[in-house]
Structure 1
């Protein structure tokens, strides 16, 4: 395991975060009597996990100048995420969604159309790039929100390439946000092929592009220097430019709620990259972080151990997965 490294460089996460209303005690939405308000967003989930791991991280977005917007920034700041660049819009509202959790997936009802975050534009990307991050993390949720958000993501990928900033893109296909699967398939493929590191679930690849294996996904998404294909409870596969693919089995986990595990996996993998670890260790860190998320009812979770111990497990000679 690397020793005595300099503090890792900053990561910036760019995208919408909403308030999330979750029934207490894991009860169904239609019978629960009490609820908890939480903070949830693909990119801020990654930011919160990285902050817990000791990575300097900023989250850039727009929020309504309302109570939910204030709560989101307070919650993110409390976990160590820098929110200094968040823009508050008077007279506009922060997005909200209701979550009906279950062990095999959640039913989600969004109240986010016309949210403050849906007005994001390339100008917000310039704000993010002003941090001069080592990594800009994006997801496929953002381009589905509006035309200006889609333009922002395209601009981000182009600007980062010009400035030598590494881009991390999680496909994060959310069918309810797209006008049709065909539109999503075309746009997400173009964006993925413009990024440096791409994360995609094999189930997403099947739904979007009718692909049945990680190798088929790599043939389609051939441009990124790194492609990580997550195959649920089975394994994750990392493809580089020329090296043979690296496969690491997932850990056996009793799933309490699956949403947020993909974001957690991305945070673990990025943590390994920032520490210049080999692909095997990066994938292990992804599994360790995803495992913690799978046992939490919320999208956000507490990391399963200290960063130092997680690094030690990731770099050990043996692995408990499979």
Structure 2
């Protein structure tokens, strides 16, 4: 575990996965089909994670492809606005397009319409991942969506090999999105392979259950994956908190209840809060709680990247908010 924790404490993350445009209806509570106004900002799980990391004092570079058009340039500009390094973001021509999410700030009958046809982020190649100067970073982070299609599936496994050769630990957020995959069978096989290659695995009960072949088997799957020496597995259970498996121990932590305005963005904020907090010197137990608090902050505000807290906001939330509950 020390190599993994040392890599996280190094606080320089190279992150693989998509950047997209989010459009969310305004004001809060407005259904998308009744909206006159939408706010646009950065979206995409890995881009959100990068924004969250930088806001909390980490360095983060995103490795992805974006469409060579106004939306792709919007995403690059927003990444730079949040302080994310875009050296390894490549524009691709043709019919490839950035992902677009159209959603609303309401919990009841929440709607999130995802446009992913011809996704530009799946066009990351071996050549792209080989240009990354891995020795500039201390840990690799990826979301599972990169594995849903070629060429990004193979190129990201190649990036894993490159990172291991450079001594970087691999942090894997399962992030299973069924609509991105050709079949559940392919997804279970590929995500399990990615998990086996990783040093830290983060997912929810449904994602671990999916990898195990049934939600009732998810906790045992997480426990099994954690048996490899040096690996940390974090099993999230929504309102029931999380179980962190590390060094043969099971650490149970709760959540910070809030009045949510939407459900999305929580996972991206959790992992950025967790990693940045370990890097800032917090214990693993406290870092998981800070990740949970980051997730609570994000679901209580409109948008994803703009809702990510900075360190002062996270500390203020923890000082003022009751919790954690659910352990």
> TM-score by structure 2 length?
0.86
Alpha carbons of structure 1 residues 23 and 308: separation in structure 2 relative to 1, 3 Å: closer
SS at 2:34 equivalent: coil
- 213, 236, 244: which is aligned to 2:242? 236
Structure 1 partner of 2:5: none
C-alpha displacement at 1:201, in angstroms? 0.5
Higher helix share: 2
1:8–1:56: 8 Å Cα contact kept in structure 2?
A: no
Structure 2 partner of 1:147: 150
Matched, 1:163 2:166: yes
C-alpha displacement at 1:149, in angstroms? 0.9
Q: Figure out how many residues of one structure are paired with residues of the other and give that number.
A: 311
Q: Deviations over 1:263-317 (max 9, x none)?
A: 1000011112223432211111111110111112312234446359739959xxx
1:14–1:128: 8 Å Cα contact kept in structure 2?
A: no
1:1-322 matched pairs, under 5 angstroms: 8-25=10-27, 26-101=29-104, 102-103=106-107, 106-130=110-134, 132-144=136-148, 146-208=149-211, 209-212=213-216, 215-222=219-226, 223=228, 225-242=231-248, 244-304=249-309, 306-307=311-312, 310=315, 320-322=323-325
Alpha carbons of structure 1 residues 219 and 280: separation in structure 2 relative to 1, 3 Å: closer
**Distance in 1 separating the partners of 2:269 and 2:313:** 17
C-alpha displacement at 1:225, in angstroms? 0.5
Q: Deviations over 1:203-226 (max 9, x none)?
A: 222344313376413234344700
RMSD: 2.6
Higher relative contact order (CA 8 A, sep 6+): 2
Q: Deviations over 1:164-188 (max 9, x none)?
A: 1011110001011112222211211
Alpha carbons of structure 1 residues 214 and 248: separation in structure 2 relative to 1, 3 Å: farther
**Distance in 2 separating the partners of 1:128 and 1:274:** 22
1:21–1:38: 8 Å Cα contact kept in structure 2?
A: yes
Flag structure 1 segments of 5+ consecutive residues without an equivalent.
Answer: 1-6
Alpha carbons of structure 1 residues 230 and 142: separation in structure 2 relative to 1, 3 Å: same
2:23–2:103: 8 Å Cα contact kept in structure 1?
A: no
Alpha carbons of structure 1 residues 22 and 311: separation in structure 2 relative to 1, 3 Å: closer
2:16–2:156: 8 Å Cα contact kept in structure 1?
A: no
SS at 2:303 equivalent: coil
Alpha carbons of structure 1 residues 93 and 181: separation in structure 2 relative to 1, 3 Å: closer
Alpha carbons of structure 1 residues 308 and 179: separation in structure 2 relative to 1, 3 Å: closer
> TM-score by structure 1 length?
0.87
Flag structure 2 segments of 5+ consecutive residues without an equivalent.
Answer: 1-8
Alpha carbons of structure 1 residues 113 and 184: separation in structure 2 relative to 1, 3 Å: same
1:95–1:112: 8 Å Cα contact kept in structure 2?
A: yes
SS at 1:60 equivalent: strand
**Distance in 2 separating the partners of 1:176 and 1:260:** 17
C-alpha displacement at 1:155, in angstroms? 1.4
**Distance in 1 separating the partners of 2:292 and 2:11:** 23
